Chain A
Amino acid sequence: MNTAGIDIGSMTTKVVVLGDNGVLTSVVTSTGDDREVAAREAFEAALDRAGVRPGEAVYLVSTGVGGKSVSISQQHKAITTCLARGTGYQLPTARMVIDIGAESCTVVKLNSRGRVDDWASHDKCAAGTGIFLQQMAKLMQLPLEEMSALSRTAKGRADITSTCAVFAESDVISHVHRDPPTPAADIVAGIYYSVVSRIVSLCKRIGIQKDVAVVGGVALSGGLVGTLREEMGFEILVPDSPQTTAALGAAVLARENVEKGLGQ
């Protein structure tokens, strides 16, 4: 039986379909207002792309902030468990995974078996999340991709708070309107540092443990990952498809359930 995992985040919905020989396909779509509709559409698109015939049985496990509210999955699992399984599949040497999503950041420490040992997350403020970066890009009138490239040309780093997204926005506005204005590259470097310092302090709460992997949509930002690497002082692993790691973990858990005889 094919298995699949769906991670319904606040911004994007991710689906991974697993076949007997590995990942058949993965799909990333916008979540929009209706999570149930988004989940159905993403799941159907993934099955179609994977070549799964209509009516063919697929065991589906859901996760993410909207994972509980959809009716198409057979089981819901916590994001921490899914991150552990997905990271174990993609990067077996990782002992810590940082998931930077749109509205939250979760750090999971893994034991030698790839199971969750501990975790910490912050979801009370946009500081240190993808939405924060998006907001800052809007403020700087720069596409996210350009921000990443620009940060590499920075000669300094603007001071931007990491404790509050609103205060950070005020800091950026002050730098832009300063006379002379702070160079845009230095502001972007400061924005990345603001996010990274928040993430590093979250990691320290549970104890940093190598190898460290970073996943989630924000892991696609080379500039941010570079800043994270500098602050950590060692190499940070990024899987090929960092956005779908939790969905992949959900698919792996679905596979485990099928092997236990569930879903027959």
Chain B
Amino acid sequence: MASQGTGAVPNERFRLMSLFIPPMYLMGFLERISQEFGAVSVIEPFFTYWGEGRLDPSHPLESVARKSYMLPEMRMYGPLDSRALDAITGCAEQYRVDGAIYYADVGCRHSCATIKLFKDTLSEVDVPVLTLDCDVVDPTITSQEEVREKLERFFELLEDR
């Protein structure tokens, strides 16, 4: 699709960074929202981004281990320094994102502790962040209507800047 210059949605209006994991029970809904508003998640910098490090076929196990340690998500388990934060801002610039959505899993204190830090970091590259309180699998934490309302507000923010 990319080679043909075709986007994931017919009318791409907003390029988004996803931070952490969207609620699984909302995947179909988020897909419909994506089509409706022309909003595409173009990068997730923790679990899916292939950051630093290269695989060495002559030392496969060692290089996979080293590579895994270099995943930005793994950086969060050590000192959360510029190596992890630079990956976020780097991705934001590389993928030309307009905004970021932080899926704040209310059960994960570890990741939620980074909301302010990531927000401040992304504001340095002028990327606004929407924080969506949710649970990856429990639909009682946040409703589809609430998510829709917040996303609509966020898209208006991006459009109006």
Contacts and interface: CB of A to CB of B under 8 A. Distances in A.
A85 to B, nearest CB: 9
Main secondary structure of the interface of A (DSSP, over half): mixed
B128 A78 contact: no
The 5 A-B residue pairs whose C-beta atoms are closest, nearest first, are A78-B153, A116-B157, A78-B156, A81-B156, A80-B153
A118 B119 CA distance: 10
Q: Chain A CB within 10 Å — which of B119, B128, B157 has the most?
A: B157
B85 to A, nearest CB: 18
A78 B161 contact: no
A114 to B, nearest CB: 10
A117 interface: yes
A82 B156 CA distance: 10
B160 interface: yes
Interface in B102-154: 119, 128-129, 152-153
Interface residues of B, number: 9
B156 A77 contact: yes
Interface string A99-139: 00000000000010001111100000000000000000000
B112 to A, nearest CB: 12
Interface in A75-103: 77-81, 84
Contacts of A81: 153, 156-157, 160
8 contacts: A78-B156, A80-B157, A81-B157, A116-B156, A116-B160, A117-B128, A118-B128, A118-B129
B153 A119 contact: yes
Given A81-B160, A116-B156, 15 more contacts: A78-B152, A78-B153, A79-B153, A80-B156, A80-B157, A81-B156, A81-B157, A84-B160, A115-B157, A115-B160, A116-B157, A117-B128, A118-B119, A118-B128, A119-B153
Contacts of A84: 160
Interface string A49-93: 000000000000000000000000000011111001000000000
Contacts of B129: 118
A238 to B, nearest CB: 24
- Looking at B119, B156, B160, which has the most chain A CB atoms within 10 Å of its CB? B160
Interface string B1-21: 000000000000000000000
A119 B149 CA distance: 13
A116 B156 CA distance: 9
Nearest to A119: B153
Q: Which of B119, B128, B156 has the most CB of A within 10 A?
A: B156
Contacts of B160: 81, 84, 115-116
Contact of B161 (A79, A80, A115, A119): A115
A111 B128 CA distance: 12
Contacts of A115: 157, 160-161
A97 to B, nearest CB: 14
Nearest to A82: B156
Contacts of B157: 80-81, 115-116, 119
A208 B34 CA distance: 32
A104 to B, nearest CB: 11
Contacts of A118: 119, 128-129
A77 B149 CA distance: 11
A259 to B, nearest CB: 15
